[in-house]
Chains A and B, each alone.
Chain A
């Protein structure tokens, strides 16, 4: 289901161009609006659909196996941290779903340099950052007791 852009809604802001993992959303030089330059490299990941502030991008199922007449629309809200889906079947049936996307505010992750610097000498231990505490077991498991073939 490659993406396409509605002429009447796109304002050419380029958010879709910036986010597309496949680099296939480009700005048309004549119309100054985005379009899918390579539908056969579209993974229908919806990254551009979710990113578009104008809701100008939609998806029409891949021509080789998806009959016409369906739609899968999405609203992803970072403030409320909720995503809502509206699925319309070819025969008109509707389904709606809402799911959480994050439990903490955006931007709230504590960066690794804000933790106390690791102790001298710990660079040669097998422990990774925040271990063993973050494992929630007393110690990092080792294999030596089982006798690796040295």
Chain B
């Protein structure tokens, strides 16, 4: 008998449930309402949608905008760029689909009140780079949240969703989700005809460079706790490209963005001796990845590779020469706003270390790895593509529906489709939202049913960490050392250490191999067993316990995919020491996994990469 079995349960019935109120979820909520005026649309978020998700902080640029109205780019151009940056492996149908719609999203953002920098001569958005436009984006998220709040029937803030619920008659169909209110502890059961998962990717799977108090200063938000993957893979969704983690070359420690500095202000990057090291490494790139070394612009992973090789060789620190380009007040303001809008911590680094960017260069470094589906990386779930341009084997149902019926996704959740960023994630949410409305309309009276017995069982499992703590705490005098439980933070640190040491983190300069991964999997399996012994002393710690659960399951997928792909496809992101080169003959394919919810077995395989755009 559980100590917490008497907890109140709240049932919420809805047509469409959107999980996660970041850009993917806000887009899904807006579009669902547009096409489903009379539907019940419910948005659930573990924090407060006013400031949640990866853009909580703000942003200084929109990194995905075609500018079709000014003939700046066509969607096909974007597909070629993304394919090149990801070393050939992307779902071109999904990338094209976002590119062709993204301009209407961005124009709506401007109408809603997001301030854009304009080119005074042409009246066009000021370009930071070929795909990026500059914004005054401090309030980017509150503006988008306003649109979502006005679209949802109800927004549930502070609900941590822990599991998806399958249909009791068909385990491959979705029926809802379950979670708890992190303030009241109330169990929430959402019964939905369709579910759109728009949760975040994963920080804090690999040990971060920052330590102690600074551990929160990861490049990607510490609250991006892998729910994008932890939720859907445990529901049996097929996952792709989970090995395709991303490493970022950013300002050291503060992780301030480099885009405006390098693309717009044209600040050069050199090693400590003032040398442009990227150009000097072209032959080395060719030896590693062949023809992909000649991709223009140089793929993100290869730029990371060049930087970390310089640091390894003792030619660091690597510097961005801000002091060479800040020759006007206007440029100085652009440089500072770039940080103050989205990475205030970098301004603190400058103020605390007496670095004035007009006078001194700043150090750059490669970050710890992260798992995402929206940046220069494309981990996530395998999804059905758009009817009018997806090859037959890329479509089996509604656009952005995963391999579980009625389960849709957007943003970091959907794999194979990189470079979405904020605008593309919102756009993909819109695509998924419209498809989900159509799915609900076509289901008619054929409704999914949750399984009451499963809900009772999950209600016990969900609050178990509170019980573990209550019982274990009574055994010891004080402190955090218990023989019966580990805290969520202790579990997180074990995860970060083993992923770092065995799966290609910073301590091995991103190197791994089959023997390392196999040993890592043994240790990860033990950690997974210990998840049953997490101890949470409060509802806040209970949230941390379930975030850890999602991170650990995601980490297992990352590890298994990394083991499966026997090549080094993205040098700079990670290396297989036993297969140090790119191998197109064997591996010009997506890696795919499926976790069997009945047997608990993982099945690995390949899925084809189709070139659709010439």
Contact = CB atoms under 8 A, between A and B. Distances in A.
B400 to A, nearest CB: 12
A70 B222 contact: no
Contacts of B31: 112, 128-129
A126 to B, nearest CB: 6
Contact of A42 (B151, B216, B354, B438): B216
Given A21-B48, A63-B212, A149-B391, A130 B108 contact: yes
A123 B214 contact: no
Interface string A83-101: 1010111110101010111
Contact of B540 (A1, A23, A59, A65): A23
A130 B212 contact: no
B351 interface: yes
Which one of A37, A69, A76, A90 has the greatest number of beta carbons of chain B within 10 Å? Answer: A90
Interface in A115-139: 115, 117-118, 123-124, 126, 128-132, 134-137
Contact of B138 (A2, A38, A101, A128): A101
A143 B92 CA distance: 11
A72 B351 contact: yes
B101 A131 contact: yes
Interface in B573-610: 610
B348 A1 contact: yes
A30 interface: no
Given A65-B253, A83-B138, A72 B107 contact: no
A43 B213 contact: no
Interface residues of B, number: 93
B151 to A, nearest CB: 5
B336 A97 contact: yes
B248 interface: no
A87 to B, nearest CB: 5
Contacts, number: 274
A61 to B, nearest CB: 5
A2 B213 contact: yes
Contact of A66 (B138, B353, B611): B353
B389 A131 contact: no
A71 B351 contact: yes
A126 B229 CA distance: 27
A46 B57 contact: yes
Nearest to B333: A97
B115 A63 contact: no
Interface string B95-116: 0100011011001100011110
Interface string B46-82: 1110111100110000000000110000111000000
Nearest to A98: B333
A141 B391 contact: no
Contacts of B53: 21
Given A66-B352, A112-B33, A126-B386, A22 B211 contact: no
B30 A144 contact: no
Nearest to A106: B146
Contacts of B108: 130, 134
Contacts of A106: 146
Contacts of B57: 43, 45-47
Contact of B103 (A41, A99, A135): A135
Interface string B141-152: 001001100110
Interface stretch (B11-19, B295-303, B372-380, B429-437): B429-437
A95 B611 CA distance: 51
Contacts of B217: 1, 43-44, 62
Contacts of B543: 23
B210 A21 contact: no
A103 B211 CA distance: 40
B344 interface: yes
A104 interface: yes
B48 A18 contact: yes
B340 A123 contact: no
A146 B389 CA distance: 10
A136 B103 contact: yes
A17 to B, nearest CB: 9
A118 B613 CA distance: 31
Nearest to A117: B37
Contacts of B51: 19-21, 45, 47
B212 A101 contact: no
A140 to B, nearest CB: 6
A96 B356 CA distance: 13
Contacts of A130: 104, 108
Given A21-B51, A131-B104, A44 B74 contact: no
Contacts of B430: 128-129
B185 interface: no
B171 interface: no
Interface of A: 1-2, 18-24, 26, 37-47, 59, 61-72, 76, 83, 85, 87-91, 93, 95, 97, 99-109, 111-113, 115, 117-118, 123-124, 126, 128-132, 134-137, 140-144, 146, 148-150
24 contacts: A1-B345, A20-B48, A21-B223, A39-B216, A45-B57, A65-B253, A67-B352, A88-B351, A104-B112, A105-B113, A108-B113, A109-B146, A111-B33, A113-B34, A117-B37, A124-B438, A129-B434, A135-B104, A136-B103, A141-B100, A142-B100, A144-B389, A148-B93, A149-B611
Given A72-B351, A85-B340, 5 more contacts: A22-B222, A44-B344, A47-B51, A76-B138, A103-B115
Q: Which 6 A-B residue pairings sit nearest by Cβ, starting from the closest?
A: A104-B113, A62-B214, A136-B69, A134-B104, A70-B351, A111-B150
